[in-house]
Amino acid sequence: MRDDATAGGDPAQDDTSDDGPWAPDDAGRRETVAERLDRNWNELLQELRVTQTGAQVLTGFLLTVPFQQRFGRLDDLEVVTYLVLVALSTTATGLLVAPVSLHRYLFRRRLKRETVVLGHRLARLGLLALGLTIVGCVFFLFDVVVSAAAGAVAGGVALCGLIGLWVVLPWSVARRSPGKPPAAF
Protein backbone atom coordinates (compact mmCIF):
# COMPACT_ATOMS: atom_id res chain seq x y z
CA MET A 1 0.00 0.00 0.00
CA ARG A 2 1.38 3.38 -0.94
CA ASP A 3 1.45 5.73 2.01
CA ASP A 4 -0.23 8.92 0.95
CA ALA A 5 -1.44 10.10 4.33
CA THR A 6 0.67 13.22 3.99
CA ALA A 7 2.51 15.15 1.34
CA GLY A 8 5.80 13.57 2.42
CA GLY A 9 4.52 10.02 2.09
CA ASP A 10 4.95 9.31 5.80
CA PRO A 11 1.68 9.19 7.73
CA ALA A 12 3.59 10.21 10.86
CA GLN A 13 4.25 13.69 9.42
CA ASP A 14 1.77 16.57 9.42
CA ASP A 15 0.43 18.15 6.23
CA THR A 16 1.95 21.63 6.13
CA SER A 17 0.68 23.07 2.85
CA ASP A 18 -0.72 26.58 2.49
CA ASP A 19 -4.25 25.24 1.90
CA GLY A 20 -4.71 24.52 5.59
CA PRO A 21 -6.37 21.35 6.86
CA TRP A 22 -8.15 20.75 3.52
CA ALA A 23 -5.00 20.50 1.41
CA PRO A 24 -5.07 18.25 -1.65
CA ASP A 25 -2.76 15.27 -1.65
CA ASP A 26 -0.88 13.93 -4.69
CA ALA A 27 -4.05 12.27 -6.00
CA GLY A 28 -5.94 15.58 -5.87
CA ARG A 29 -8.07 14.63 -2.88
CA ARG A 30 -9.05 17.43 -0.58
CA GLU A 31 -9.23 15.82 2.83
CA THR A 32 -8.12 16.57 6.34
CA VAL A 33 -5.25 14.67 7.89
CA ALA A 34 -7.81 12.77 9.99
CA GLU A 35 -9.81 11.83 6.89
CA ARG A 36 -6.64 10.72 5.14
CA LEU A 37 -5.63 8.58 8.12
CA ASP A 38 -9.11 7.02 8.20
CA ARG A 39 -8.89 6.26 4.48
CA ASN A 40 -5.38 4.79 4.87
CA TRP A 41 -6.57 2.62 7.76
CA ASN A 42 -9.56 1.36 5.76
CA GLU A 43 -7.35 0.54 2.77
CA LEU A 44 -4.95 -1.34 5.04
CA LEU A 45 -7.82 -3.35 6.53
CA GLN A 46 -9.01 -4.33 3.05
CA GLU A 47 -5.53 -5.58 2.19
CA LEU A 48 -5.24 -7.46 5.47
CA ARG A 49 -8.55 -9.27 4.91
CA VAL A 50 -7.07 -10.99 1.86
CA THR A 51 -3.67 -11.81 3.34
CA GLN A 52 -4.98 -12.89 6.75
CA THR A 53 -7.22 -15.50 5.17
CA GLY A 54 -4.40 -16.88 3.02
CA ALA A 55 -1.97 -17.01 5.94
CA GLN A 56 -4.51 -18.69 8.20
CA VAL A 57 -5.41 -21.34 5.60
CA LEU A 58 -1.72 -22.02 4.94
CA THR A 59 -1.02 -22.32 8.67
CA GLY A 60 -3.98 -24.67 9.09
CA PHE A 61 -2.74 -26.84 6.24
CA LEU A 62 0.76 -27.01 7.73
CA LEU A 63 -0.62 -28.00 11.12
CA THR A 64 -2.26 -31.09 9.58
CA VAL A 65 0.94 -32.41 7.94
CA PRO A 66 2.26 -34.37 10.97
CA PHE A 67 -0.95 -36.38 11.05
CA GLN A 68 -0.30 -37.83 7.59
CA GLN A 69 1.18 -41.33 7.36
CA ARG A 70 4.10 -40.21 5.21
CA PHE A 71 5.30 -37.67 7.83
CA GLY A 72 7.22 -40.37 9.71
CA ARG A 73 9.33 -41.02 6.59
CA LEU A 74 10.64 -37.46 6.27
CA ASP A 75 14.39 -37.01 6.52
CA ASP A 76 16.03 -34.54 8.91
CA LEU A 77 16.13 -31.68 6.38
CA GLU A 78 12.43 -32.11 5.63
CA VAL A 79 11.47 -32.16 9.32
CA VAL A 80 13.51 -29.02 10.03
CA THR A 81 12.04 -27.35 6.95
CA TYR A 82 8.55 -28.26 8.12
CA LEU A 83 9.14 -26.85 11.61
CA VAL A 84 10.57 -23.61 10.17
CA LEU A 85 7.51 -23.32 7.93
CA VAL A 86 5.14 -23.73 10.88
CA ALA A 87 7.07 -21.02 12.75
CA LEU A 88 7.04 -18.71 9.72
CA SER A 89 3.35 -19.20 8.96
CA THR A 90 2.43 -18.66 12.60
CA THR A 91 4.54 -15.51 12.61
CA ALA A 92 2.90 -14.30 9.39
CA THR A 93 -0.57 -14.93 10.81
CA GLY A 94 0.34 -13.12 14.02
CA LEU A 95 1.78 -10.12 12.20
CA LEU A 96 -1.16 -9.87 9.81
CA VAL A 97 -3.73 -10.07 12.60
CA ALA A 98 -1.77 -7.76 14.94
CA PRO A 99 -3.10 -4.50 13.41
CA VAL A 100 -6.63 -5.53 14.41
CA SER A 101 -5.53 -6.13 17.98
CA LEU A 102 -3.58 -2.87 17.91
CA HIS A 103 -6.67 -1.01 16.75
CA ARG A 104 -8.81 -2.60 19.46
CA TYR A 105 -6.33 -1.55 22.14
CA LEU A 106 -5.77 2.00 20.81
CA PHE A 107 -9.40 2.64 19.79
CA ARG A 108 -10.67 6.06 20.94
CA ARG A 109 -7.33 7.07 22.42
CA ARG A 110 -6.65 9.66 19.71
CA LEU A 111 -3.75 7.61 18.37
CA LYS A 112 -4.96 7.05 14.78
CA ARG A 113 -1.67 8.18 13.22
CA GLU A 114 0.29 5.74 15.38
CA THR A 115 -2.22 2.98 14.63
CA VAL A 116 -1.91 3.53 10.87
CA VAL A 117 1.89 3.73 10.90
CA LEU A 118 2.37 0.67 13.11
CA GLY A 119 -0.37 -1.27 11.29
CA HIS A 120 1.37 -0.54 7.99
CA ARG A 121 4.73 -1.77 9.35
CA LEU A 122 3.17 -4.92 10.82
CA ALA A 123 1.47 -5.64 7.48
CA ARG A 124 4.77 -5.32 5.62
CA LEU A 125 6.50 -7.65 8.05
CA GLY A 126 3.55 -10.05 7.76
CA LEU A 127 3.87 -10.04 3.97
CA LEU A 128 7.58 -10.78 4.29
CA ALA A 129 6.89 -13.72 6.62
CA LEU A 130 4.08 -14.94 4.35
CA GLY A 131 6.33 -14.72 1.29
CA LEU A 132 9.05 -16.72 3.03
CA THR A 133 6.44 -19.28 4.06
CA ILE A 134 5.19 -19.63 0.49
CA VAL A 135 8.73 -20.05 -0.85
CA GLY A 136 9.48 -22.57 1.90
CA CYS A 137 6.31 -24.53 1.13
CA VAL A 138 7.29 -24.74 -2.54
CA PHE A 139 10.75 -25.98 -1.53
CA PHE A 140 9.26 -28.47 0.94
CA LEU A 141 6.72 -29.92 -1.50
CA PHE A 142 9.22 -30.33 -4.33
CA ASP A 143 11.77 -31.80 -1.90
CA VAL A 144 9.31 -34.40 -0.61
CA VAL A 145 7.84 -35.28 -4.00
CA VAL A 146 10.93 -35.03 -6.26
CA SER A 147 14.27 -34.20 -4.57
CA ALA A 148 16.06 -31.57 -2.52
CA ALA A 149 17.66 -30.20 -5.68
CA ALA A 150 14.26 -29.82 -7.33
CA GLY A 151 13.05 -28.17 -4.14
CA ALA A 152 15.90 -25.67 -4.24
CA VAL A 153 15.19 -24.79 -7.88
CA ALA A 154 11.44 -24.51 -7.35
CA GLY A 155 11.93 -22.47 -4.18
CA GLY A 156 14.31 -20.14 -6.02
CA VAL A 157 11.81 -19.67 -8.83
CA ALA A 158 9.04 -18.96 -6.31
CA LEU A 159 11.29 -16.46 -4.50
CA CYS A 160 12.10 -14.65 -7.74
CA GLY A 161 8.44 -14.63 -8.73
CA LEU A 162 7.28 -13.17 -5.41
CA ILE A 163 10.03 -10.55 -5.37
CA GLY A 164 9.05 -9.59 -8.90
CA LEU A 165 5.33 -9.37 -8.14
CA TRP A 166 5.42 -8.01 -4.59
CA VAL A 167 8.45 -5.69 -4.73
CA VAL A 168 9.80 -4.92 -8.21
CA LEU A 169 6.45 -4.43 -9.97
CA PRO A 170 4.95 -2.00 -7.41
CA TRP A 171 8.27 -0.19 -7.07
CA SER A 172 8.59 0.28 -10.83
CA VAL A 173 5.02 1.54 -11.16
CA ALA A 174 5.57 3.99 -8.29
CA ARG A 175 8.90 5.08 -9.77
CA ARG A 176 7.27 5.96 -13.10
CA SER A 177 4.42 7.89 -11.52
CA PRO A 178 4.81 11.63 -10.92
CA GLY A 179 5.09 12.84 -7.37
CA LYS A 180 6.61 10.99 -4.49
CA PRO A 181 9.58 8.66 -4.88
CA PRO A 182 8.78 4.99 -4.15
CA ALA A 183 9.20 3.84 -0.58
CA ALA A 184 11.65 1.07 0.18
CA PHE A 185 10.08 -2.25 1.09
Residue range 71-115, pLDDT digits in tens: 888 999 999 999 999 999 999 999 999 888 887 887 777 778 888
Q: Report the C-alpha gap between 25 and 83 in whole angstroms.
A: 46
Q: Which residues, 6 or more positions from 43, have their beta carbon under 8 angstroms from its beta carbon?
A: 1
What is the count of structural domains for the chain?
1
Please give the C-alpha separations between residue 63 and each of 34, 82, 89, 176, in angstroms, as whole numbers.
41, 10, 10, 42
Q: Is residue 184 part of a domain?
A: no
Give the whole-angstrom CA distance, residue 50 versus residue 166: 14
Which residues does residue 30 pair with via DSSP β-bridges, in sequence order? 24
Is residue 10, in this structure, part of any structural domain at all? no
Q: Which of 167, 179, 163 is nearest to 26 (CA)?
A: 179
Q: Are 154 and 139 in contact (CB under 8 A)?
A: yes
Q: How far is CA 93 from the centre of its chain?
A: 10
Flag whether 7 is in a domain.
no
The verdict on pTM exceeding 0.85 is no
Is position 14 within any domain? no
Report the b/e string of 136-148 with b at 16+ CB within 10 A. bbbbbebbbeeee
Tell me, rounded to whole angstroms, the distance of Cα 146 from its chain centroid. Answer: 30
Asked if the structure places residue 99 within a domain, the reply is yes
| CA trace torsion 72, 57, 93, 162 (10° rounding) | 90
- Per the CB < 8 A criterion, the answer to whether 154 and 134 are in contact is no
Residues of the chain with pLDDT under 70: 1-28, 179-185
- Residue 34: closest CA among 138, 105, 110: 110
Is residue 185, in this structure, part of any structural domain at all?
Answer: no
Closest listed residue to residue 10, CA positions, set 33, 29, 31? 33
Domain presence at residue 81:
yes
pLDDT score recorded for residue 67: 84
pLDDT for 28: 66
Domain that holds residue 123: 20-176
Residue 8 lies in a domain: no
